[in-house]
Amino acid sequence: MRHRRCLTVAALGLALSGCSQINASLPVNLYLAIGVPDSRTITEESHRFFRQRVDLVVKEFQRIRPNINVQLAVYPEHALVDRIQKRNSAELGPDLILSDAYISRELFNKGLTDPIPDQALLRRNIFANLLQRVVVKKNQLASQPFLIYLQLACFDRRQIPQAPTRIRELLSISAAGKNIGLSLDSAQLFWTAGSLGALPALNRVSSGQPVKAEDREAITNWLEWLNQAAMQQRISFYPDASELTQDLKSGEISWITCSSSNIEDLRKTLGTRLGVSPLPSGETHSASPFNRLRTFSLGKNSSSRQRKASLAFLRYLAQPQTQRDLTLRTLSFLPVNRHVKVPVASSAVLRAMVASRRQSEGSTTFLQHFDLSQNLRERVTLLLTPLVYGVESAEQASEQLIDLLNEARQ
């Protein structure tokens, strides 16, 4: 009888890991908690946006496992850890959690999630520098990388026909009367550190190496550029990234830094006027975009069947074909599976995203140590704000930044 039931399950394509899952055809309900970036208000529209994104994944998976249902709950990222902690205490915690990489590490370090068991599979398939961002104590993986949202440049082709490829061109464009928008968020400003040659120094600080005079000089020169840029009449720094996209859509600004997750929304308003490109580099140094890594964590309160279903779902997400199909359907992110060939010849947006991914490889050391956690990100932003508004000098901010990064490393 056991053998016949296994054959039936296999024939229906329900047992991804063999006949050990005797009751694989029975319904399984998974609770998925999603952390929404804090710049987005959780409204019916944003809930629907994330529901649609998750449904793309779930519906394809349900062709293989139609018995698995997924219930979605959306939380602001700043409150996600606290919400999971309270639900776990009541034994109502989620089976899966979708969040940024640094949050997944925080969840794991607080004992709110379990490590990912399929390390060998992931190490064969996922980009090594992305896996490193979720490594925790005892070389465990706090979460499984899912996709990368890329930091890019978005601009109005009607105002700027050709995307600037060098950071000096950005200043020339503003001098010619075009409005440029930059974010005050330290994570969103970090790309300029690469363009202006400060990234090697920041990497050395983050590695705990002695800070040399040339390191201080490189960091100071970068911060001086930010101060000088803020003094330009047509360069504006925005505290909220969502205001950047709104002003680009309204025509108030001609060029902004943006996320690949914004492209769909921007295209609805701008249509073919929307230009997308990699962030401009320096004369001899590449930009260093802060690309957001979204990952799945395993919750603590799953039953045995829910855990098996969750792991089957994660294995499905890691497959090259799954990653490729999702990328091409949305053109909003890139796959984390290194075996996926992205058809860059077919899309300028894909070319820009692949270029951004390559640019960010140089900041792996910095991200590995800090990953710009929300707390550190806020502290660096508070440090840079008086610099941008001319209250403090680049020399003062440079010393404060080095001290802050050394403190965070300890």
Q: Is the pLDDT of residue 329 over 90?
A: no
Q: What is the rounded average pLDDT of the residues 229-251?
A: 92
Instruction: For 342-365, write each residue's pLDDT tens digit.
Output: 999 889 999 999 999 999 988 877
In the numeric block, the tokens 């995307």 are attached to 163
Q: How many residues does the chain have?
A: 410
The pTM for the full model equals 0.87
366 pLDDT band, cuts 50/70/90, is: confident
pLDDT at 9: 35
CA neighbor of 164 nearest in space, from 243, 244, 275 = 275
Q: Is the pLDDT of residue 4 over 80?
A: no
Q: Is the pLDDT of residue 41 over 70?
A: no
By the 8 A CB rule, do 222 and 197 touch?
Answer: yes
CB-based contacts of 171, cutoff 8 Å, min separation 6: 229, 232, 235
Q: Is the pLDDT of residue 13 over 70?
A: no
In the numeric block, the tokens 């001319």 are attached to 390
CA neighbor of 373 nearest in space, from 103, 56, 6 = 103
Pair type for strands 235-238 and 180-183? parallel
Q: Is the pLDDT of residue 6 over 50?
A: no
By the 8 A CB rule, do 356 and 151 touch?
Answer: yes
By the 8 A CB rule, do 264 and 330 touch?
Answer: yes
Question: From the DSSP assignment, how many helices (H) and strands (E) are in the chain?
Answer: 19, 12
Q: Which residue has the higher pLDDT, 150 or 58?
A: 150
113 pLDDT band, cuts 50/70/90, is: very high
By the 8 A CB rule, do 294 and 335 touch?
Answer: no
Q: Is the pLDDT of residue 21 over 50?
A: no
Token digits for 239?
């505290």
Q: What does pLDDT average to over the chain?
A: 88
CA neighbor of 256 nearest in space, from 246, 270, 264 = 246
pLDDT at 375: 79
317 pLDDT band, cuts 50/70/90, is: very high
Helix, strand or coil for residue 15?
coil
pLDDT at 43: 56
pLDDT at 371: 64
Among 26-40, 94-108, 256-270, the minimum mean pLDDT is found in 26-40
By the 8 A CB rule, do 16 and 82 touch?
Answer: no
DSSP secondary structure of 178-237: --EEEE-SHHHHTHHHHHTT-HHHHHHHHTTPPPPHHHHHHHHHHHHHHHHHHTSTTEEE
Instruction: For 129-146, write each residue's pLDDT tens digit.
Output: 899 899 998 899 999 999
> Within 10 A of 242 (CB to CB), how many other CB atoms are there?
15
pLDDT at 47: 61
